[in-house]
Amino acid sequence: MIEKLIENWLINVHELGYTIPFCEVLISRGYTIVRISRQGRGELGKDVIARAPTGELHTFQLKGPRDITLREWQNIQNEVRDLVQLPVIDPAINRTETHVPFLVTNGEIVGDALTSIEEYANVWERQGHPHLQIWRKHDLLTMFSEAHGSYLPTDLVDFREFVQFYVSQFEDRLPRERVARFLQKLVRREAVRGRGRDAKRAIESMVLMAGYILEQYERAENHISAAEGWTIVGATILHVAARDRVRKRDYAPSFDLTWTALYRNLQNLQDEVSKRKHFIEPRFLTAERDDIRGARTTLTLGWLAAKHFIDSRSGSRPIDKSVLETIKRELKWLRFIGESDWPYVMVVSLLVERFVGAAVGEALILKWIRWITVINTKKDVIGIPSPYWPQEKVLALLHQKLPPYELEMFSGESYTIHSAMDMLVRRLLRQAITHFWPSASRLSFCDYICANDSEWFAWRGFDGYTRVDNPQQPVSWREWRRSALNVPRASVPLILIENSRWLLPFALTYPHRVTREMSGVIDALFGERADLVSAESAARTRSLGTITRSE
């Protein structure tokens, strides 16, 4: 049954949409991906360049989903000629190295087109160029099926869930928790049956399954949901890798490919935003209330800011002017609706303090602290929903669409205010802290402390503890400052620090994992306001987990 769905997806998807899953199939066949062209603009006719397990260099041009007729062949002939005749130009490849070109289509080649293509291939070969190979729909179907191996969900419940994802409303927000739980199930311990090759195959199959769902969000130009989805895929890979101690070489190709997919969506988001003069959704104009628009603005600005920091860490590029203008223009529309907004607020404030002005960034953090202090110290109010409540659920609550059994009480505690106050402490805003502390200190400061790396990357953990901290009084400014400035490196998984480009997407997609320490790491790496120190060094400066009482 599920094979039929995959076939249905494959024969209907546009060439750009199946590029990432196709690369995952290549990885499963032992290929190493060298380059994927951006946005389908095949460089010299080459959409994908990969090294085969034999060591040969293979180049691919992807087409589809329409059948290739003779007329279509005439349209694409020049691109295919470039594919065959022009060398691979890539810093990692010697220009003189020969390559094997592949024309790949998820449709059929019909009528006289096949004869014509083969004839051209023969002519080019006689001229001394490599022989053009052709992969068609049935070849791809076989390869996709082989890539899944025995890792396709066979359980009816899983199948039903996949179908629900497959026919979702792709303009809606991705149901992150459900998707994360589904993907985790595909690579659960009993399914993976071991480390090495089995884990590798399970990961590859999981990435493909995710690709079938996420490609449809991409097609709907729901860039943020697609980016969140690929972040969940990356986190799920790290979850298995940590749980089963999978060797890096067995998961790195899929993990890197997942990054490519995630980044493409961030680029698409930035491209779209740069062209727009507002964030209003004209399709749902009557629903365009300030809180809904505000929540969308928070999400969008958060991801845009995250992309800037990702780019700047990979090559220290200046900020894109249109992004900066957009952020300045939309900042006034940003709304806080729940504590799951914290990572967005933090990353926007980091960007704004650097490019607009320190006071503007600090004002955003102050606003956050004031908001939580005023509401969550009140008795007999629900309070501000915790980071376990995604924005869409908070909006449902605000618009009275939530069933009563889902209600919770949040007053009296906060999962984020201590992280926000740490930011002010790092910025020497003692007066502001002095002002807020008497009321903020009435709240319990909560954080979920994961038991191990594997749990960090699972949507929900079972082995960790919620740390509930009620600080002793009075509090020493000097001690607080010392601990806030020295963030223990080991308080987040090392793999996130080593792959710091994943840090912000992970924080935005998993807000309940943004602990006080994680916020400190982000402020250290992207705000450059703290140092990452060894556990011993952090212990010397006292635990960041507790605001230290004055001696």
Partner 1 sequence: MQSQSYSVSRDRFGEPLLANIPSHVMHEGQGFDLKREDGSEEKSDFKKVTGEILINLEEMQEKGEAAIDEALSSASKQMLETQKKMLFETLDRTVPKHDAGGRPLSAEILLETWQTMEFTFDENGNWQHPQIVVNPVQAPRLEKELKRLENEPELKIRLEELIARKKNEWNDREANRKLVD
For partner 1, the closer of residues 128 and 403 by Cβ is: 403
**Using CB under 8 A as the criterion, what x/- string covers residues 67-106 for binding partner 1?**
----------------------------------------
For partner 1, the closer of residues 315 and 404 by Cβ is: 404
Q: How far is the CB of 357 from partner 1 (least distance, A)?
A: 26
Burial class (CB in 10 A: 0-12, 13-18, 19+), 514: buried
Out of 71, 95, 283, 478, the only residue in the binding site for partner 1 (CB under 8 A) is 478
Q: Are 162 and 31 in contact (CB under 8 A)?
A: no
Out of 100, 363, 449, 490, the only residue in the binding site for partner 1 (CB under 8 A) is 449
Out of 123, 280, 468, 535, the only residue in the binding site for partner 1 (CB under 8 A) is 468
Q: With binding defined as CB under 8 A, does residue 66 bind partner 1?
A: no
Q: With binding defined as CB under 8 A, does residue 472 bind partner 1?
A: yes
Out of 474, 494, 535, 540, the only residue in the binding site for partner 1 (CB under 8 A) is 474
Q: How far apart are CA 215 and CA 18, in angstroms?
A: 8
For partner 1, the closer of residues 22 and 448 by Cβ is: 448
Binding segment for partner 1 among 7-15, 262-270, 315-323, 458-466 (CB under 8 A)?
458-466
For partner 1, the closer of residues 204 and 339 by Cβ is: 339
Q: How far apart are CA 374 and CA 148, in angstroms?
A: 52
Q: With binding defined as CB under 8 A, does residue 467 bind partner 1?
A: yes
**C-alpha distances in Å from residue 480, one per residue of 358, 446, 485, 515:** 21, 17, 8, 17
Out of 78, 98, 466, 534, the only residue in the binding site for partner 1 (CB under 8 A) is 466
**C-alpha distances in Å from residue 248, one per residue of 200, 220, 509:** 10, 33, 23
Q: With binding defined as CB under 8 A, does residue 452 bind partner 1?
A: no
Q: How far is the CB of 420 from partner 1 (least distance, A)?
A: 16
Q: How far is the CB of 460 from partner 1 (least distance, A)?
A: 4
Q: Are 340 and 385 in contact (CB under 8 A)?
A: yes
Beta bridge partners of 486: 531
Q: How far apart are CA 190 and CA 220, in angstroms?
A: 35
Q: How many residues bind to partner 1 according to rule CB under 8 A?
A: 44
Binding segment for partner 1 among 164-172, 311-319, 455-463, 519-527 (CB under 8 A)?
455-463
Q: With binding defined as CB under 8 A, does residue 470 bind partner 1?
A: yes
Residues in 210-239 that interact with partner 1 by CB under 8 A? none
- How remote is the C-alpha of 391 from its chain's centroid? 17
For partner 1, the closer of residues 196 and 474 by Cβ is: 474
Q: Residue 458: which of 142, 187, 201 has the closest Cα?
A: 187
Q: Residue 76 is encoded by which pair of tokens?
A: 């694409």
Q: Residue 170: which of 233, 219, 206, 229 has the closest Cα?
A: 219
For partner 1, the closer of residues 190 and 551 by Cβ is: 551
If one counts every other C-beta atom within 10 angstroms of the C-beta of residue 238, the result is: 24
Burial class (CB in 10 A: 0-12, 13-18, 19+), 419: buried
Phi, psi dihedral angles at 91 (to 5 degrees): -55, -25
For partner 1, the closer of residues 10 and 547 by Cβ is: 547
Q: Residue 395 is encoded by which pair of tokens?
A: 């909006």
Q: How far is the CB of 236 from partner 1 (least distance, A)?
A: 16
For partner 1, the closer of residues 54 and 405 by Cβ is: 405
Find where tokens 């915790």 sit: 386
Q: How far apart are CA 61 and CA 452, in angstroms?
A: 43
Q: How far is the CB of 463 from partner 1 (least distance, A)?
A: 6
**Using CB under 8 A as the criterion, what x/- string covers residues 367-406 for binding partner 1?**
-------------------x-x--------------xxx-
Q: How far apart are CA 528 and CA 198, in angstroms?
A: 41
Q: Residue 379 is encoded by which pair of tokens?
A: 């008795």
Binding segment for partner 1 among 42-50, 180-188, 313-321, 477-485 (CB under 8 A)?
477-485
Q: With binding defined as CB under 8 A, does residue 546 bind partner 1?
A: yes
Q: How far is the CB of 405 from partner 1 (least distance, A)?
A: 3
**Using CB under 8 A as the criterion, what x/- string covers residues 405-444 for binding partner 1?**
x--xxxxxx----------------x--xx--xx--xx--
Query: What's the Rg (C-alpha) of the chain?
Result: 25
* Angle of helix 196-219 versus helix 2-12 axis, rounded to 10: 50
For partner 1, the closer of residues 284 and 465 by Cβ is: 465
Write the CB contacts of 275 (distance below 8 Å, at least 6 apart in sequence).
none
Q: Are 294 and 335 in contact (CB under 8 A)?
A: yes
For partner 1, the closer of residues 177 and 531 by Cβ is: 177
Q: How far is the CB of 433 from partner 1 (least distance, A)?
A: 6
Out of 193, 276, 328, 460, the only residue in the binding site for partner 1 (CB under 8 A) is 460
Q: How far is the CB of 480 from partner 1 (least distance, A)?
A: 8
Beta bridge partners of 135: 104
Residues in 492-521 that interact with partner 1 by CB under 8 A? 512
**C-alpha distances in Å from residue 138, one per residue of 9, 24, 60, 377:** 13, 17, 17, 63
Phi, psi dihedral angles at 133 (to 5 degrees): -100, 155
The CA angle 168-171-175, to the nearest 5 degrees, is: 55
Query: Where do contacts with partner 1 occur on this chain (CB under 8 A)?
Result: 386, 388, 403-405, 408-413, 430, 433-434, 437-438, 441-442, 448-449, 460-478, 480, 512, 546, 549-550
